[in-house]
Chain A
Amino acid sequence: MFEPFTDVVPSFFGWLNQGPLTLTIFLHTVIILPMIWIYFQEKKRLENEE
């Protein structure tokens, strides 16, 4: 799942590029999780409006 870091210069983007899972986990964290949060906020707002 996690591969040893082999880039020349250590950097966040080097870590991100190590394998498919690191990128997937990262993108889910920054895109999907906030969208779920926004979803429930909006749901609550719509319910309150009704």
Chain B
Amino acid sequence: MAKKSVWSDNRFWQRSATWVTGFASILLIWLTFDTSAQIAMGNDQDLKDGVTKRVPGPTVINYKITYEMDAKRGHEVPVIGEKEKFFGRDDYSEEEAGALLHLGKLGSQAKNCMDCHTLLGNGAYYAPDLTKSWLDPAWGPDGAMQALTGKNTKEEAIAEFLQHPDQYPTHARMMPDLGITAEEAKGLVAFLKHMSSIDTNGFPRNFGRMQGAVNGK
């Protein structure tokens, strides 16, 4: 009788498949918990202590955020700098900042920003990606959008635009007036500022190539 081959033996494949499936399941469960820990939001104390978190606490709105090239990692990372006034204040408590972010998040969902925009990789590419929009130099001191709205600060310019987007048509794909109130706009700007401080491993990739976005250049 011909010698039986292990390759045509059912038990070998059964045991191999059982091992790989079982091990992969354990790995995926582990990965889930590992990810949860990595994306857990930091708090005010982390910001004061300079502890780097992928997702900083809500009080990050009290600080200046810049986008700097990290040569080691090969892409830009948001850097939290010194204190910066946000709607005239830089002393938002964790509760106040959290409430503002919550309002902004609910607002972004109620107005369905993702219908046109992309937030952290979710949404559409009809309108600009909002993941790092706070860092867009167009809203900065010398930016075209700030000049267009006639405001003196980034947050006021964005808030003004959000309340009356139809008054500032930038191109053919004009943003419609969504009836955003002043308070909602403030929350949305806080939401956008916080989102820009999230370390997204350089996403969106093309943002760093924007004139003036990185290191102020």
In the complex the two chains form, is B54's CB within 8 Å of A38's CB?
A: no
In the complex the two chains form, is B12's CB within 8 Å of A42's CB?
A: yes
Q: A2 interface residue, CB < 8 Å from B?
A: no
In the complex the two chains form, is B72's CB within 8 Å of A6's CB?
A: yes
The total of chain B residues at the interface (CB under 8 A) is 24
Contacts of B54 in A (CB 8 A): 8-9
Taking chain B's interface residues, is the majority helix, strand, or loop, or is none over half, making it mixed? helix
Among B4, B23, B34, B52, contact of A8 (Cβ-Cβ < 8 Å): B52
Taking chain A's interface residues, is the majority helix, strand, or loop, or is none over half, making it mixed? helix
Contacts of A24 in B (CB 8 A): none
In the complex the two chains form, is A31's CB within 8 Å of B38's CB?
A: no
Among A11, A12, A38, A50, contact of B15 (Cβ-Cβ < 8 Å): A38
Residue interface bits A20-50, CB-to-B below 8 A is 1, else 0: 0000000000110011001100110110011
In the complex the two chains form, is B23's CB within 8 Å of A30's CB?
A: yes
Q: How far is the CB of B51 from chain A (nearest CB, A)?
A: 10
Nearest 7 interchain pairs by C-beta: A42-B12, A6-B73, A43-B6, A38-B15, A6-B72, A46-B4, A42-B6
